């Protein structure tokens, strides 16, 4: 198959040891993936430091940091990290900004009232660009977005990473942004993923949990738009009642899991990629649990079109 | 007594890495990175890069404020660096807030590092069922960068070490205050470390004295009154220096530094003299002395000379 013009990435959830993460990243580079994305969330390792460890052991693979929340980190801290990483390891870094996981942020006392936080993200982006430019850098800055307001705001970024995977939802988002975006604006998705050669029940269980987390964190307007609200009602109620996500996931309909994740045997990936490429997607981050082990990373790499 | 190196996060990354490698090669004990809040580089990222570029050198952040970052961010940054550096990290905290803030900060960090699920509310912190998903169960030593007497005593009571900076007489008295806090512990002193950071300069020729004078002017201009008082330096002697700093900058202020202030605040001379003077801080109870800016006319050369002079003392 001819390679669609898409960059392929593995997303790393930084809660393993640094050594384990670096091992998977070295393998991903060896297998020819284009990007690594290192997540950042309060219960995880510190993303810029993990990025430094990964960059020190890889040669040219591009490294994305994020989603980084300017509600949690100051714009100076974010730009300062990128400036040092770039000076040490070359111009291989990109960032994705966004509000972040509201549930995790509230656990560490960070207030994420809608409206105010969007303004904070947009202001931070402008400050970061100024700092990076002052250091002679033109680092690509993505916005992580799901709902209409953030999608509309993404036009002032270099690209948008959407947190869903179904072509129907992706098309809906692209149709909203494309008419107002610059020509070189990029559309990407960053979704829970499980592309497999040999199906493993544990990986599928984790995929369902990861998808449920994303779906339950999606703006109501998105859930309504795609008719998911009714099916998710019980899961939302129980999740708001502070039940652990593992207990709630059984109430998340499989069509919701499918819409928020990339779940396919290796043989089914090509047609999905063609469809996304046709919609204008140029960047795909295969998120957790695709990074579960070196084997799942290899399964993904072998399913991707040859460079 | 051990020799450490001190740099500022405002140093270029190239210089920071170069100095770290020199310190690692010359078997210095620790490199302390002083966080300059006005500087671009982010201290934990710089510390990560230094840990990756060195093998045995301890790396200390000096000092980061619990007011500048979420407590969860400080906890996980320290956890990440501790893993990367195989426990070579030392976490310096800016003990400038009230005692309760610093006590809460140290306690919360240690609870999170043992893997505990923490719910805690105070004026500053709001944690609810928060726990680390990264591999916890390690113990990064916590150092307080403290100057105020109450916080110095608190450092003795709850921290793993203290970083003292100021005139020599202040350092002598500060050690005694920290000792009062240490007495409140069940096991006195133990592995607690006293670290002193004094401006140091290798002087090759008389004109190099300018470096030491400038450093002293810069330090005195921002030294709190409480520190000056403990050092027995009258506020009236520092006011003209501060005024001159505003009017004519550091160059102008350095010209009015009196000889006794120069001797009291900085350590300078030949490598052997500086080594001996730093070593002399041991009599106050100091365990580690930091060789820090301005170093000398050629900083890299000065660091090498200093390391050799220090070795020759043994």
pLDDT digits (tens, 9 = 90+) for B53-67: 999 999 999 888 888
B52, B77, B125 ranked by CB distance to A109: nearest: B125
The answer to whether the CB atoms of B126 and A108 lie below 8 A apart is yes
Question: For residue A120, what are the CA distances in angstroms to A47, A56, A116, B32?
Answer: 20, 32, 6, 33
pLDDT interval class at B188 (50, 70, 90): low
In a domain, A218, yes or no: no
B289 and B28 in contact (C-beta within 8 Å)?
no
Question: For residue B152, what are the CA distances in angstroms to A304, B61, B65, B95, B264?
Answer: 59, 18, 16, 8, 21
pLDDT tens for chain A, residues 1 to 307: 455 589 999 999 888 999 999 999 999 999 999 999 999 999 999 999 999 999 999 999 999 999 999 999 999 999 999 999 999 999 999 999 999 988 889 999 998 887 788 889 999 999 999 999 999 999 999 999 999 989 999 999 999 999 999 999 999 999 999 998 898 999 999 999 999 999 999 999 999 999 998 998 888 999 999 999 888 888 777 776 665 677 788 888 888 989 999 999 999 999 999 999 999 999 999 999 999 999 999 999 999 997 6
A50, A58, A84: best to mutate for the B interface, most B CBs within 10 A = A84
| Location of structure tokens 């605040």 | B265
In a domain, A22, yes or no: yes
The answer to whether the CB atoms of A88 and B73 lie below 8 A apart is no
The answer to whether the CB atoms of B70 and A81 lie below 8 A apart is no
- Interface A–B counts its CB contacts (< 8 A) at 116
In a domain, A181, yes or no: yes
A163 and A172 in contact (C-beta within 8 Å)?
no
What is the residue-wise DSSP string for B31-53?
A: EEEE--TTSSS-HHHHHHHHHHH
Note the pLDDT tens digit of each residue in B68-97. 999 999 999 999 999 999 889 999 999 888
CA distance B250 to B248: 7
| pLDDT for position A216 | 87
**How many domains would you assign to chain A?**
1
Residues of A in contact with B125 (CB under 8 A): 109
| pLDDT for position A13 | 84
Q: Which chain B residue is nearest to residue A71, measuring alpha carbons? A: B70
Paired residues of A9 in beta bridges: A35, A285
Structure tokens at B214: 């400038």
The answer to whether the CB atoms of B48 and A19 lie below 8 A apart is no
| pLDDT for position B276 | 97
> What is the rounded average pLDDT of the residues B282-298?
95
B39, B47, B133 ranked by CB distance to A44: nearest: B133
Q: Name the residue ranges covered by the structural domains of chain B.
A: 2-202+266-313
B39, B76, B133 ranked by CB distance to A46: nearest: B76
Residue B3 has pLDDT above 90, yes or no: yes
| A266: CATH | 3.20.20.30
3-state secondary structure of A21: helix
A8 and A304 in contact (C-beta within 8 Å)?
yes
Length of chain B (residues): 314
ipTM of the prediction: 0.94
Q: Write down the H helix ranges in chain A.
A: 18-30, 47-57, 75-89, 102-107, 116-134, 148-153, 167-177, 201-217, 220-225, 229-240, 245-248, 254-260, 266-279, 294-303
In a domain, A151, yes or no: yes
In a domain, A294, yes or no: yes
Residues of A in contact with B69 (CB under 8 A): 73, 77
Q: What is the CATH number of domain B2-202+266-313?
A: 3.20.20.30
Backbone angles phi, psi at B70, to 5 degrees: -65, 145
Task: Quote the distance between the C-alpha of residue B11 and its chain's center.
Answer: 15
**Interface residue ranges in chain A relative to chain B, Cβ cutoff 8 Å:** 14-19, 42-46, 48-50, 52-53, 56, 72-74, 76-81, 83-85, 87-88, 106-110, 131, 135
CA distance B75 to B131: 10
**N- to C-terminal Cα separation, chain A:** 10
Q: Average pLDDT over chain B, rounded to whole? A: 93
In a 13 Å sphere around the CA of A271, the CA atoms on its Cβ side amount to 5
In a domain, A255, yes or no: no
In a 13 Å sphere around the CA of B306, the CA atoms on its Cβ side amount to 35
A165 and A260 in contact (C-beta within 8 Å)?
yes
Task: Quote the distance between the C-alpha of residue A307 and its chain's center.
Answer: 23
Domain that holds residue A282: 7-198+262-303
């Amino acid at each position: 198959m001819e390679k669609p013009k898409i960059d392929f990435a593995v997303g790393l959830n930084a809660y393993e040891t640094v050594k384990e993460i670096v091992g998977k990243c070295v393998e991903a580079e060896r297998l020819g993936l284009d990007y690594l994305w290192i997540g950042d969330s309060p219960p995880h390792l510190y993303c810029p430091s993990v990025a430094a460890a990964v960059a020190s052991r890889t040669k040219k693979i591009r490294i994305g940091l994020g989603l980084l929340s300017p509600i949690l980190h100051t714009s100076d801290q974010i730009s300062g990290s990128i400036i040092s990483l770039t000076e040490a390891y070359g111009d291989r870094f990109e960032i994705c900004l966004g509000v972040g996981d509201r549930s995790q942020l509230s656990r560490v006392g960070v207030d994420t009232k809608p409206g105010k936080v969007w303004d904070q993200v947009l202001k931070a982006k402008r400050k970061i660009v100024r700092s990076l430019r002052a250091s002679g850098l033109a680092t690509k800055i993505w916005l992580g977005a799901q709902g209409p307001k953030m999608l509309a705001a993404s036009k002032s970024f270099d690209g948008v990473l959407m947190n869903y995977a179904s072509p129907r939802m992706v098309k809906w988002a692209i149709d909203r942004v494309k008419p107002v975006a610059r020509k070189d604006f990029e559309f990407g998705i960053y979704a829970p993923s499980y592309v497999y050669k040999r199906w493993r029940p544990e990986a599928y269980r984790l995929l369902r949990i990861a998808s449920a987390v994303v779906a339950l964190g999606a703006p109501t307007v998105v859930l309504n738009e795609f008719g998911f609200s009714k099916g998710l009602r019980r899961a939302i109620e129980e999740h708001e009642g502070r039940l652990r996500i593992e207990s709630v996931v059984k109430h998340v309909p499989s069509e919701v899991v499918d819409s928020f994740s990339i779940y396919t045997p290796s043989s089914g990936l090509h047609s999905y990629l063609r469809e996304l490429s046709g919609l204008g997607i140029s960047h795909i981050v295969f998120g957790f649990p695709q990074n579960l082990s070196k084997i799942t990373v290899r399964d993904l790499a072998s399913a991707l079109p040859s460079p | 007594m051990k020799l450490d190196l001190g740099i500022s996060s405002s140093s270029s990354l190239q210089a920071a890495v170069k100095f770290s490698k020199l310190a690692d090669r010359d078997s210095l004990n620790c490199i302390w990175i002083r966080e300059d809040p006005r500087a671009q580089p982010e201290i934990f990222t710089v510390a990560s890069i230094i840990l990756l570029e060195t093998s045995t050198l301890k790396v200390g952040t000096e000092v980061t404020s619990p007011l500048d970052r979420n407590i969860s961010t400080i906890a996980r940054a320290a956890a990440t660096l501790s893993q990367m550096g195989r426990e070579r990290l030392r976490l310096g905290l800016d003990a400038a807030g009230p005692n309760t803030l610093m006590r809460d900060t140290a306690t919360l960090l240690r609870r999170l590092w043992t893997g505990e699920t923490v719910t805690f509310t105070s004026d500053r912190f709001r944690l609810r069922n928060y726990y680390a998903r990264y591999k916890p169960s390690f113990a990064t030593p916590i150092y307080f960068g403290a100057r105020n007497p109450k916080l110095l005593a608190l450092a003795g009571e709850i921290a793993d070490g203290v970083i003292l900076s100021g005139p020599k007489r202040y350092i002598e008295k500060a050690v005694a205050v920290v000792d009062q806090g240490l007495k409140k512990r069940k096991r006195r002193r133990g592995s607690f470390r006293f670290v002193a950071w004094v401006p140091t300069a290798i002087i090759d020729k008389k004109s190099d004295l300018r470096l030491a004078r400038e450093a002293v002017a810069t330090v005195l201009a921002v030294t709190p009154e409480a520190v000056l008082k403990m050092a027995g330096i009258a506020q009236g002697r520092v006011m003209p220096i501060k005024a001159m700093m505003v009017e004519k900058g550091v160059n102008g202020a350095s010209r009015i530094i009196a000889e006794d202030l120069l001797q009291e605040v900085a350590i300078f001379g030949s490598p052997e003299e500086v080594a001996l003077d730093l070593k002399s801080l041991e009599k106050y109870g100091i365990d580690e002395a930091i060789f820090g800016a301005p170093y000398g006319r050629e900083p890299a050369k000065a660091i090498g000379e200093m390391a050799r002079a220090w070795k020759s003392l043994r």
